[in-house]
Amino acid sequence: MLELVRDDWTLLRDLYRNDRTSLTGYDLINNYIYWPDQAEYVKIYTTNDNWLEHGSFVLIHNSNDKADVFFNTLNGSLLELQALLSSLKLNSRHWFCGYRHLLRNIVDKYCVERCLKLKKLEHLETFVYYLPQSAIQPFDCRYQFRSPGHQTCISSG
């Protein structure tokens, strides 16, 4: 297991630039890069020194009462990603967030290893679609309780 230093987070993020439909890829990592006041609560781990080739990672965001756990791989071994997740010492209550269907078995195995009851495990899937700016223009809206001109519903940026 290798912890990525914060200076390497942009390199990891950029590996996912061509896969913008994944919830645990470019946009997730970018969010934490530009959320500096949470930096001390976020750790990113990878399987080995070849992370620039496979893009496998586990991101943990610790808060007061739980840890949000995100993980993904571009072309790495699912067994290595499973081993990485299994090697983590998560002492607090934790949520697995935003993983794609392909990685569902990794969560199941993690739960079985820890004798957690799978009856309580719910997998909720989310699908992300990107449209060209011209297609979303008719849906552009503004949130009435924000400052004037502040777009919040749909951003074309």
Alpha helices of the chain — where are they, by DSSP H?
9-15, 26-33, 51-54, 78-87, 104-113, 133-136
What's the pLDDT band for 156 if we cut at 50, 70, 90?
very low
Highest mean pLDDT of the ranges 48-52, 91-95, 139-143: 48-52
Residue 13 has pLDDT above 90, yes or no: yes
Element of type H or E holding 94: strand 94-96
CA distance 43 to 67: 11
Residue 89 has pLDDT above 60, yes or no: yes
Which of these, 48, 31, 49, 47, lies nearest to 39 by C-alpha position?
31
Domain annotation for the chain: domains and CATH numbers:
2-129 (3.40.630.30)
Residue 155 has pLDDT above 50, yes or no: no
- Taking residues 73-102, report their average pLDDT: 85
- Taking residues 121-139, report their average pLDDT: 70
Residue 1 has pLDDT above 90, yes or no: no
The dihedral built from the CA positions of residue 14, 19, 25 and 27, taken in this order, carries a sign that is positive
Do the beta carbons of residue 78 and residue 106 sit within 8 Å? yes
Which of these, 47, 116, 59, lies nearest to 87 by C-alpha position?
47
CA distance 3 to 6: 9
What's the pLDDT band for 114 if we cut at 50, 70, 90?
confident
Average pLDDT, the chain: 81
Provide the whole-model pTM.
0.77
pLDDT at 122: 66
